[in-house]
Amino acid sequence: MANEVTVKHLIRLIQEGRLSQLKEEMCKDEGVRAAVLKGHFGRSGDTVLHYAARHGHLEILKYLLEELGTNVELVNGDYKRALHEAASMGHRECMRYLIAQGARVDCLKKADWTPLMMACTRRNLEVVKDLIENGANLCLKNKDGWSSFHIACREGDPEIIQYLLDVSSGIWDVESKINRTPLHTAAMHGHLEAAELLLERCGYKPDAKDSCGVTPFMDAMQNGHIEIAKLLLERHKADFSASDALGARSLHRATVTAQDEAICFLVTELGVNVNERATDLKLTPLHYAAKEGHAGTIATLLTLGADVHARDAKGRSALHMACAGQHIKCIRQLIAAGLTDSTDDNGTLASQLLKKPEALKVLNDITGCE
């Protein structure tokens, strides 16, 4: 027990960067020193090198590697190395030192992430430059098929994206395992400057679809990024009427995520039909909003002229969707807008789909049924 307490104390000294005290304590007990140097700690099974690199303590790294002979390639439970930690946390001097000590610049952690990929999750251009200048491979992909360029576009730092394109002009021409391009990624995450740069310097085809049939414009609409949607329309000639693999369009996808401003943009500025149908079930945006329980979006759609009485291919109204989801606020809105407790093609009343007593009570109170 005493050794365990001592080991934890020494780990804390490493995390806090207290080198002189660490040296003094490490000399006292050879068994404890061995336990610290060979041990794996915490949920991730980190080693002393991971702690030192994560917290940016260069002098402690030098002590561990040069004086105590620690292996620079020690891995934790996720196969992450000290170089991953230094790159991820932006500790440039630690990272450069580890590489000089023989750390493999393209070492892989769990899910095949490299230090360069980790660095691209942060807005630290100098760290990215150091890795590439030391031979990091821009073309490597992780298990999902994401390259460092994908990850940089997800974070949206224009300087890093520009630099990567300068280093490798064709790096943009890459897709993930589900056929998503970096332009999809930038549009989805709302990075306007990054999207402008990609359209200026890269050769993406308008309306390129991922494996689900989703275009960058759909991504922008589904996540409420109207300025990016406008950019794609003006500079990339995006087709706002494109459908995904299931037949849903941008309006339907924006409804699912309750992007009311995007819905208004599509209907009022682009002239999209607020009652347009999607998929083989012929669902309207109102059906989607009711299914997801988006009361505010139902109000928006009704204001824009949505047909509250529209039925899908199975004869279901939006009330059926709201009742199936036990969405009380939506039930109130739809009934107030004129819907009644009617049957679908199978003879099922919307109210028969209610399971929560409080939801059924709301429907009964509004309709006067018992």
Reported as a pLDDT band with limits 50, 70 and 90, residue 366 is: low
* pLDDT tens digits for range 133-143: 999 999 999 99
Reported as a pLDDT band with limits 50, 70 and 90, residue 180 is: very high
Q: Is the pLDDT of residue 351 over 90?
A: no
* pLDDT tens digits for range 273-327: 999 999 999 999 999 999 999 999 999 999 999 999 999 999 999 999 999 999 9
Token representation of residue 302: 């009704």
**Residue 344 CB partners (closer than 8 Å, separation 6+):** 311, 314, 315, 316, 317, 320, 350
> Taking all residues of the chain, what is their mean pLDDT, rounded to a whole number?
94
Reported as a pLDDT band with limits 50, 70 and 90, residue 367 is: low
Q: Is the pLDDT of residue 91 over 60?
A: yes
CATH for 274-370?
1.25.40.20
Largest pairwise CA distance in the chain? 83
Q: Would you state the pLDDT for residue 354?
A: 85
Give a three-class secondary structure readout of the chain: CHHHHHHHHHHHHHHHCCHHHHHHHHCCCHHHHHHHHHCCECCCCECHHHHHHHCCCHHHHHHHHHHCCCCCCCCCCCCCCHHHHHHHHCCHHHHHHHHHCCCCCCCCCHHHCCHHHHHCCCCCHHHHHHHHHCCCCCCCECCCCCEHHHHHHHHCCHHHHHHHHHHCCCCCCCCCCCCCCHHHHHHHHCCHHHHHHHHHHCCCCCCCCCCCCCCHHHHHHHCCCHHHHHHHHHHHCCCCCCECCCCCEHHHHHHHCCCHHHHHHHHHHCCCCCCCCECCCCECHHHHHHHHCCHHHHHHHHHCCCCCCCCCCCCCCHHHHHHHCCCHHHHHHHHHCCCCCCECCCCCEHHHHCCCHHHHHHHHHHHCCC
- Structural domain boundaries in the chain: 274-370
Burial tier of 28 (Cβ tally within 10 Å: 0-12, 13-18, 19+)? exposed
Reported as a pLDDT band with limits 50, 70 and 90, residue 4 is: confident
* Cβ(327)–Cβ(293) below 8 Å: yes
Task: Phi first, then psi: give them for residue 82, nearest 5 degrees.
Answer: -60, -35
* Cβ(92)–Cβ(127) below 8 Å: yes
Task: Tell me which of 165 and 355 has the higher pLDDT.
Answer: 165
Residues 354 and 362: their CA atoms lie apart, in Å, by 11
Q: Mean pLDDT throughout 115-120?
A: 98
Residues 218 and 241: their CA atoms lie apart, in Å, by 10
Reported as a pLDDT band with limits 50, 70 and 90, residue 342 is: confident
Q: Mean pLDDT throughout 189-214?
A: 97
Reported as a pLDDT band with limits 50, 70 and 90, residue 370 is: very low
Q: Would you state the pLDDT for residue 368?
A: 54
Q: Mean pLDDT throughout 229-248?
A: 97
Q: Would you state the pLDDT for residue 22?
A: 95
Q: Would you state the pLDDT for residue 1?
A: 42
Q: Is the pLDDT of residue 68 over 50?
A: yes
Q: Would you state the pLDDT for residue 321?
A: 96
Q: Mean pLDDT throughout 72-96?
A: 97
Q: Is the pLDDT of residue 251 over 60?
A: yes
* pLDDT tens digits for range 219-232: 999 999 999 999 99
Q: Is the pLDDT of residue 2 over 60?
A: no
Question: Looking at 119-128, 156-165, 247-256, 352-361, which range is the least confident one?
Answer: 352-361
Q: What percent of the chain has pLDDT over 70?
A: 96
What are the distances in angstroms from CA 104 to CA 71, 79, 184, 257?
A: 12, 13, 31, 43
Q: Is the pLDDT of residue 164 over 60?
A: yes
Reported as a pLDDT band with limits 50, 70 and 90, residue 158 is: very high
Q: Mean pLDDT throughout 243-254?
A: 97
* Cβ(326)–Cβ(355) below 8 Å: yes
CA-closest candidate to residue 99, choices 76, 83, 119, 77: 83
- The whole-model pTM stands at 0.92
Q: What is the distance of C-alpha 223 from the center of its chain?
A: 12
